[in-house]
Amino acid sequence: EAGVAQSPRYKIIEKRQSVAFWCNPISGHATLYWYQQILGQGPKLLIQFQNNGVVDDSQLPKDRFSAERLKGVDSTLKIQPAKLEDSAVYLCASSLALSGSKTGELFFGEGSRLTVL
């Protein structure tokens, strides 16, 4: 079974530039997440989709970050304009479900490492 695919793996940009990350979840997984992992910290949830609808974006800096999940499959996360503090690994994860009796194990991609200079 193919895992969660993310691209690009690495990206270096100047501050105030824009960047986009792509994620393709495991086939059949309805829930998709974008986490931000700053060096030395735990993953922080940015946005959560259920199919193609947003169910939680409370920690997404909406003035500069945006995300979409067209057709309920793959997703893109965009940052515009980037700031120095956006340097982090952006992790995409997917799960079958997260509520009710299902445990909702998260399957993570390898991440996209962003460096903002």
Partner 1 sequence: QQQVKQSPQSLIVQKGGISIINCAYENTAFDYFPWYQQFPGKGPALLIAIRPDVSEKKEGRFTISFNKSAKQFSLHIMDSQPGDSATYFCAARHLGGYSSASKIIFGSGTRLSIRP
Contact positions vs partner 1 (CB under 8 A): 4, 35, 40-45, 48, 50, 55-56, 91, 93, 98-99, 103-111
For partner 1, the closer of residues 8 and 104 by Cβ is 104
Least CB distance to partner 1 at residue 43 (A): 5
Residue appearing with tokens 């990206």? 11
Least CB distance to partner 1 at residue 109 (A): 5
3-class state of residue 85 by DSSP: helix
Q: Cα angle vertex 109, ends 27, 13, to 5°? A: 125
Least CB distance to partner 1 at residue 81 (A): 27
For partner 1, the closer of residues 18 and 103 by Cβ is 103
On whether the CB atoms of residues 69 and 85 are closer than 8 A, the answer is no
| Cα-only R_g, the chain | 14
Give the burial class of 29: count Cβ atoms within 10 A of its Cβ; 0-12 exposed, 13-18 middle, 19 or more buried.
middle
For partner 1, the closer of residues 17 and 57 by Cβ is 57
For partner 1, the closer of residues 17 and 50 by Cβ is 50
